Structure 1
């Protein structure tokens, strides 16, 4: 199985593969935390956030490890971009796990100056990763993929994922209540929120934590972000199904479905 995996990933971006491997390990650690650590944070198991982020980053890294192998122009820029993203996302995970160990929220935390700076550093790391991902998206959009459906998928998937990533910035906008407290000279414990129309920490979906009583910005964030995987997988699936379904052998049909 190891040899088969090496054959499949030969030529893929090594930095992104390394990041995916580290996040796979972090996923196992987070699962162990869910079992062994019964602490709650914001109404959810405290290790739920590291678990979600490690899985999401692993999928991101694995997808870009493959996409980067398709980039034919600016190979040096691609390699350096991957290394920078790897470093920034590792910094993000160190901050998240560090706050979990301390029993503190990582996102929006304004309880102390230290907590505030942790969130600022996380924001800077994600901003840097977004900018580099934008560069990689431009490079992959200029890659030469013969099949039009696949070409559309590897162009649209990363582009939509950038919009999904950008939704996170809306979460960092202070709520009306937080603005009122700051204008009154008080220090809110949180600046920003996931939920819309209801307070954070209310009833939510198990593990995901998405609000079941109001809006939640994590939903469009999730959908947009993982278009990065969904569209290329759809193109691959349509190509595979074309063997059995003749209608899918038409490249234009597959392109329209993507």
Structure 2
């Protein structure tokens, strides 16, 4: 099944806020449109505060890494997927600021998942860039495919991000709860490993089964390391409880662009 992210359901933003501990961006947008006239949810995305600059087009110079091997913020922007890199997909910057979440869990072994949701993976990146990837052939459809992409530059410890997630998958299979700010506790009833994309230097994929208003809310994450850059893709199904599918060509194209 595709990620099912309904435009018309008024509760979509609230459901995503609850399900992802107040830190998720959900809902399709009108690909290729600016802020006016586009359909966007009000839920914020995980990540550091501050707005992203406009998404670059596919053309342009190949990013060069810093002396420590990690890309700068500008270089991450240039390396991120752009409209035209993947057939039928538009790449949009996330609109507005992207506040960092503050959720925690009493189950310490599950904090790697919560850190990713918060936009603060461990170890923390030195620069972060966000994109929303939208299937333009499905404009107007209730189940339009929308995938959020987060690129993080890690001068040190990039492999540790994935290693900690793998350990957490085994330790948290029976779920966990989170609490952050004034939000009600969020419940995740199950964690399971999924087949990871065979791209980059290494990759891990997993599903978190959340609960919102008594309904299951499955969330799929793919985390791919290419050198010192860690790219996270995630999709949420807020309408039917089906495991979202992240199109394989996204990770393939992004890994190739980072390698070039």
TM-score between both structures, scaled by the size of structure 1: 0.31
TM-score between both structures, scaled by the size of structure 2: 0.31
| Bigger-Rg structure (1/2) | 1
Which one has a larger percent strand, Structure 1 or Structure 2? Answer: 2
Greater relative CO (CA pairs within 8 A, separation 6+): 2
Which one has a larger percent helix, Structure 1 or Structure 2? Answer: 1
